[in-house]
């Protein structure tokens, strides 16, 4: 049997594919459209590995998805495919709804048709796991209880609205058609292979380049930070043990204001890669105008997944952040390729 991972050349998807094949020998087919944040270099560790097959394509290409499902006897789909950057969604919302809503709808239709051809154990054990975000729940006041799975959806950005819509579609396909789906809503991820538009890799990259470290507003926006390795173990656990139709929130149990995260990064870089003038990277911190509709606080209540499936985060934030800084210091050529677009030139040559 085989699992299909959509969006598997992106940040979280590639970490999941690599982790999966480190843990077991069940083959993986990775489907990715290789847009700006999808990068085959993320999967270079698997080059020549017979257990892994890469297919370039979109979840919106129903005939392609159908062929991949049928030709590989797929027993589970893990859907990471999404446009995911809030700032980009504010400046240009349309691609987020094309991929996150219409793409998810197309994927659901292809999976529903494929599921209808299965019988016996193959039909009973099939799963579609849809990976989503805590941003669908909106924002929290400083003293408000963390997001539970029963919280109403109140998205405040076009990105969050598109993910909320995709979540509703997935749940509707379970209720209407009996499709055996699972939904996970995670907090902010960090770790290797994250495209340097997100806070942590952006700060590391800008600091090393001598550029300003832009902080929205007062920098006191609170996020719950989840190491991507913990996220991968949580998804594996949900996929293997959860009942169809279930939803689980996945968090890192680490709420921290953005400005404190940035200062921690600066301190780590001061120790590991000091500036030539001997000053702290913190001197590059620059406060900029806050973005529209900026959610003030996210926090995840992950008691359900702990109680029902026994999962808890294992990576402490200080240790995970230090390891992440080290990874970006050790992989500056990867950062240079993705920020310059050089990897996309290779894709154009390779795929025409």
Check if 114 is active-site: no
Parallel/antiparallel/unpaired status of strands 74-79 and 188-190: unpaired
| Phi, then psi, of 350 in degrees rounded to 5 | -70, -40
Among 134, 167, 230, 253, which one carries the catalytic annotation?
A: 134
Check if 134 is active-site: yes
Q: How far apart are CA 82 and CA 5, in angstroms?
A: 12
The structure tokens 């832009």 sit at: 214
CB under 8 Å to 164, separation ≥6 — which residues? 136, 153, 155
Among 114, 137, 159, 281, which one carries the catalytic annotation?
A: 159
Among 83, 135, 167, 295, which one carries the catalytic annotation?
A: 135
Q: How far apart are CA 39 and CA 121, in angstroms?
A: 35
Instruction: Report CA-CA distances (Å) from 294 to 135, 158, 333.
Output: 11, 11, 32
Check if 45 is active-site: no
Instruction: Report CA-CA distances (Å) from 125 to 57, 90, 108, 122, 237.
Output: 26, 39, 17, 5, 15
**Helix (H/G/I), strand (E/B), else coil: 314:** coil
CB under 8 Å to 67, separation ≥6 — which residues? none
Instruction: Report CA-CA distances (Å) from 106 to 182, 185, 236.
Output: 17, 21, 24
The string of DSSP codes covering 18-31 is: HHHHHH----EEEE
Q: Would you say the C-alpha torsion 103, 105, 108, 114 has a positive or negative sign?
A: negative
Which residues are known to be catalytic?
A: 134-135, 159
């Amino acid at each position: 049997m085989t699992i299909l991972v959509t969006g598997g050349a992106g940040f979280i998807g590639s970490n999941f594919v690599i982790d999966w094949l480190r843990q077991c020998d069940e083959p993986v087919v990775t489907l990715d459209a290789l847009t700006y944040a999808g990068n085959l270099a993320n999967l270079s560790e698997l080059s020549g590995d017979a257990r892994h097959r890469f297919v370039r394509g979109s979840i919106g290409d129903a005939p392609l998805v159908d062929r991949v499902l049928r030709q590989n006897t797929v027993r589970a789909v893990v859907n990471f495919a999404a446009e995911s950057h809030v700032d980009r969604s504010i400046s240009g919302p349309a691609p987020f709804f094309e991929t996150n809503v219409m793409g998810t709808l197309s994927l659901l239709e292809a999976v529903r048709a494929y599921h209808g051809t299965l019988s016996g154990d193959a039909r009973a054990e099939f799963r579609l796991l849809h990976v989503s975000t805590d941003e669908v729940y909106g924002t929290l006041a400083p003293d408000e209880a963390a997001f539970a799975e029963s919280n109403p959806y109140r998205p405040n950005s076009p990105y969050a609205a598109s993910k909320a819509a995709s979540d509703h579609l997935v749940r509707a396909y379970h209720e209407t058609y009996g499709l055996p789906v699972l939904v996970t809503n995670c907090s902010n991820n960090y770790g290797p292979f994250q495209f340097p538009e997100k806070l942590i890799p952006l700060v590391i990259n800008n600091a090393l380049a001598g550029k300003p470290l832009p902080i929205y507003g007062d920098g006191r926006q609170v996020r719950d930070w989840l190491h991507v390795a913990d996220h991968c173990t949580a998804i594996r656990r949900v996929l293997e043990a959860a009942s169809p139709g279930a939803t689980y929130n996945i968090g890192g149990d680490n709420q921290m204001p953005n400005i404190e995260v940035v200062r921690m990064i600066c301190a780590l870089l001061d120790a590991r890669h000091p500036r030539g003038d001997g000053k702290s990277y913190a001197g590059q911190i620059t406060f900029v105008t806050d973005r529209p509709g900026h959610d003030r606080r996210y926090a995840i209540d992950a008691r359900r997944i702990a109680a029902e499936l026994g999962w808890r985060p294992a990576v402490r934030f200080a240790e995970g952040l230090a390891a992440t800084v080290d990874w970006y210091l050790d992989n500056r050529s990867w950062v240079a390729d993705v920020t310059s677009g050089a990897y996309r030139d290779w894709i154009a040559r390779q795929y025409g």
